[in-house]
Amino acid sequence: MSFTSTIADSVKRYPELKIIDARQIHKEKFSEIPEQAFYQVVSRMAKAGEIERLTKGIYCRPKSGRFGKILSSEKDILEHYLGKNKKNGIVIGYRMYTMYGLTTQLSKDIQMYSNIPLEEKRQIRNVSVKKADLRFDASTKKLIELLEVLQHHKEIEDLNYKNLWKFLSAASEHYNENKLGNILGEIKYKKSTLASLKNVLDHFGVSNTVGKYLKGTSKYDALDVEKIYEATPESTRF
């Protein structure tokens, strides 16, 4: 069997609508075949309509629908980059903010981190994927969520301070020093974000050494936890 047939047969085995990452397939299954020859096969398959190009290097096997071809949906893209049991990535940005009731504002765009892509950044339709070579266990995801909110809280439209207080209180319970070190090795956060993290952890009595990432004499535009406390109805404080 020629390498052309071998590549085509491998691609055709993918379920309809499942994301097909050409670069990943080449690396994992056909690294002995020159890249140019491999991509020529993939390109011919796309021109023949056997697969559909979603963006550069990313394809899917289309599904036939009543009104024509159906391509991979937002759900299919998320399933690919989040992985089985969502252990390969995390959704951030407004989709995450609304999940915690921090705002009622919605966004069509989705942002996420994933350890699946080979590239540093990927844009597939409305999904923006950033590479982070992390093990996305529950505590790591909780800490990333906390860091993301602290980094972007000033940009969140119609921020609900009551729910922000609940979020900060609950998220601080999952703090882990080792996980923070792992995260900072992959995702860059501002010093002001780390100063905000220290303020939150200190306020809720969580032991931490976040100060080692900060310069002792510097002043940072950090979150004022007391102001959040004051803006929160007394009945919801705990």
Note down pLDDT in tens along the chain; length 238 residues.
588 999 999 999 999 999 999 999 999 999 999 999 999 999 999 999 999 999 999 999 999 988 899 999 999 999 999 998 999 999 999 999 999 999 999 999 999 999 999 999 999 999 999 999 999 999 999 999 999 999 999 999 999 999 999 999 999 999 999 999 999 999 999 999 999 999 999 999 999 999 999 987 678 989 988 888 777 766 555 5
- Neighbouring-strand partners of residue 128: 111, 123
**Fold classified for 3-70:** Arc Repressor Mutant, subunit A (1.10.10)
CA–CA dist 49, 69 (Å, integer): 10
User: pTM here?
Assistant: 0.92
Would strands 68-70 and 110-114 be described as parallel, antiparallel, or unpaired?
unpaired
Tokens describing residue 46: 């796309």
Distance CA 214, CA 151 (A): 15
Domain boundaries, the chain: 3-70, 75-236
